[in-house]
Amino acid sequence: RKEVEQDPGPFNVPEGATVAFNCTYSNSASQSFFWYRQDCRKEPKLLMSVYSSGNEDGRFTAQLNRASQYISLLIRDSKLSDSATYLCAVNSGGGFKTIFGAGTRLFVKA
């Protein structure tokens, strides 16, 4: 089993749709969780950190479920500009090493 696994993609949604991504992790001692966005042929950019209480930034909501060992990202009112690959990342239980998921590709269509 991979340490961090994401929903297989791609997700194809119309503008205005709500889309949710899940990411599971295997190390129960993991402490820090993140979502990154990566555009084609560009570097990943931090979208948001995921806190135990959940957090929201505009149309984006991230949640953590420690009992089931997964994090989620919800995007409401999808825009064409949301089309990208979304990577989840999990800090492996202390220290600086962070494991990235393989990414989920999102296509938002007009």
Please, which residue, 70 or 100, has the CB nearer to other proteins? 100
Contact call for residue 26 and other proteins (CB under 8 A): no
Q: How far is the CB of 47 from other proteins (least distance, A)?
A: 11
Q: How far is the CB of 102 from other proteins (least distance, A)?
A: 4
First to last CA, the chain: 37
Closest listed residue to residue 30, CA positions, set 1, 62, 65, 60:
65
Is residue 54 a contact partner of residue 40, using CB atoms and an 8 Å limit? no
Within positions 68 to 107, which residues make up the interface with other proteins, using CB under 8 A? 87, 89, 91, 95-103
Q: Give the Cα separation of 72 and 22 in Å (integer).
A: 4
Footprint on this chain of other proteins (rule: CB under 8 A): 32, 34, 41-46, 49, 87, 89, 91, 95-103
